[in-house]
Structure 1
């Protein structure tokens, strides 16, 4: 449900962390394949084995690795115990499973062709709309993993509530995105800064930024009710990240950012287009309405030329400076130095993306 670039960059993870993370994936998948709650046939076992590998693996796993990195910082240690590593990695993989569930269904809704350099799961021969059920299975795996490894922990109910809340917010954000950008005829008049912010906040920021840190806080024995300000900062950071992603889609170097931007062609509710709509006169709006959302390179060029005419590069850099300074001030107002370190780690990795 996130855009291709919207991946939190905190959890780089050293080689030892990545190795442990990968090893625990194999254990969790094996448990899914041996789940006594269902009498699997050989054919269904082979299907799930392939389906989970195809959809859960293949990304950078930065969300999942962020749980481990954040937990280490909160505990003030460089090395976790074997049990602590297992639990942190397991929650990290639950987030990666959640991401896979979102993306499998998102690709169907968007009628997408590829994901992570390979055909979307529903486009794989013999899969088709079975992918809808596969998405449901992926979501149910999360509940099974949490039950198996966290039931009896004092924060078990909080974990269940956390994943349920974040899933609800993300699905609601996806609904807003779909009815705003995909319903009926393309209509730029629906796009504004409020709509853009709400879509980004709910569709991406909660599960990409807040969820990994919230998992780490629960592991560290904290009560999430005491960290409302931290949630707000992380959601704001997620919004900042997506605005930056929208900017890079148009103005970034494809070799540097790793993709060719298509927001203009795809009629995305991008921060750039809503800024352009706010600043454009009637003639400039006419150019937008006539050319935005078309794959013709000449139309794309006209939109980009208008962005430059409206000086949106400078508008972005001013927004970036103001957002960064406000986030730093809000972070430094947090009473916990460990929490400050976690938040600054997220922020600095994001900020360096376009440098």
Structure 2
């Protein structure tokens, strides 16, 4: 085995061990929530919530949650006490709970069919729109976890403020996304790179990229007001991540992705359609106007074929390369080597991802 393969195998083994520890904390948090003294559970209600949690919270890649733990360890630069690592895991799970809450409701709003390679929660028998209340339960679990483990910490109020702020930003990003796809009001002329960036920044970048690092910075005793530059880099990274997502929604393998892309049918303000509008001639724009946003596979096929004719795969490859270089230079300009390590870790995880 060559040196590169040995290093990769060692890294994968370390990540596997980290994930195992992280999942152990999930079991502890779940058990505590299922026996929360503030609610008198019946046998059936406890079973319902446990099934709902297991189906929606730990089934993804867990990148957001694990990033809190990984970032905290990189910031400390030393062996951390087990209780501190537990707290980092707990914060990571708060983000995974937040993600689950967003996805359960997002799937209902988008009328989606699959999530993480299985049917969306609301599509399961006897679930339906009860999933809306399940989403609210997921949301309300977060302050329960924070209160139990962080109430005595000097950064407790900052944590609460951070989660509230990020949820506010994400909900409004979702709102912008949804109002641009209102049935009967579909107008591709409203779509632009500026609109796409605004949706991405608020709907994805804050909670997926900034929140995990901000949690780790607070745990490490840092003042978030001193890290505006870090926030800006992470927002740029989140934008790059969502452009990747838009690309994979059309060109990715559903078996690898765990879901079938529906951006075209859903009239999403995708990076692909914005780029297509930028470089299409009048005839091609007319084709987009006639076929984009229709739940008809023949229309979807015409849009995808136009994407290929316009070489949007090549446009994305160029965008990805340029974004990576720009982010790398911004990260290396940061004065703190520990913060650099955190940001580089994030970037390497998403560069040229397939799902």
Stretch deviating more after TM superposition (315-324 or 25-34): 315-324
Rounded to whole Å, the distance in 2 between the matches of 1:11 and 1:207 is: 25
Rounded to whole Å, the distance in 2 between the matches of 1:31 and 1:313 is: 47
The match for 1:89 is: 89
What SS class does the counterpart of residue 125 from structure 1 fall into? coil
Stretch deviating more after TM superposition (332-341 or 35-44): 35-44
Rounded to whole Å, the distance in 2 between the matches of 1:262 and 1:39 is: 41
Q: Any stretches of 5+ residues in structure 2 without a counterpart?
A: 1-10
1:117 partnered with 2:117:
yes
Root mean square deviation, CA, Å:
2.2
Q: Deviations over 1:296-342 (max 9, x none)?
A: 44433332332233333332233223222221121111111011111
Offset, 1:30: 1.0
The match for 2:67 is: 66
1:210-289 → structure 2 map (5 Å cutoff): 210-252=210-252, 260-289=260-289
Rounded to whole Å, the distance in 2 between the matches of 1:169 and 1:311 is: 34
Offset, 1:258: 5.7
* Contact 1:56/1:96, CA 8 A, preserved across alignment: yes
The match for 2:337 is: 337
The match for 1:33 is: 34
Rounded to whole Å, the distance in 1 between the matches of 2:118 and 2:253 is: 23
What SS class does the counterpart of residue 266 from structure 1 fall into? coil
Stretch deviating more after TM superposition (266-275 or 83-92): 266-275
TM-score (norm 2): 0.90
1:321 partnered with 2:342:
no
TM-score (norm 1): 0.90
1:99 partnered with 2:94:
no
Rounded to whole Å, the distance in 2 between the matches of 1:262 and 1:254 is: 11
Stretch deviating more after TM superposition (261-270 or 191-200): 261-270
What SS class does the counterpart of residue 49 from structure 2 fall into? helix
Kindly tell me: are residues 232 and 11 of structure 1, through their superposed partners in 2, closer, same or farther at Cα, counting changes over 3 Å? Answer: farther
Kindly tell me: are residues 198 and 74 of structure 1, through their superposed partners in 2, closer, same or farther at Cα, counting changes over 3 Å? Answer: same
* Contact 2:114/2:259, CA 8 A, preserved across alignment: no
Rounded to whole Å, the distance in 2 between the matches of 1:119 and 1:354 is: 21
1:54 partnered with 2:34:
no
Kindly tell me: are residues 115 and 314 of structure 1, through their superposed partners in 2, closer, same or farther at Cα, counting changes over 3 Å? Answer: closer
Rounded to whole Å, the distance in 1 between the matches of 2:46 and 2:27 is: 15
Offset, 1:114: 2.4
Give aligned pairs, total. Answer: 345
* Contact 2:117/2:259, CA 8 A, preserved across alignment: no
Stretch deviating more after TM superposition (102-111 or 313-322): 313-322
Offset, 1:17: 1.4
Q: Any stretches of 5+ residues in structure 1 without a counterpart?
A: 1-9
The match for 1:199 is: 199
Rounded to whole Å, the distance in 1 between the matches of 2:258 and 2:125 is: 28
Offset, 1:227: 0.6
* Contact 1:105/1:131, CA 8 A, preserved across alignment: yes
Rounded to whole Å, the distance in 2 between the matches of 1:46 and 1:245 is: 34
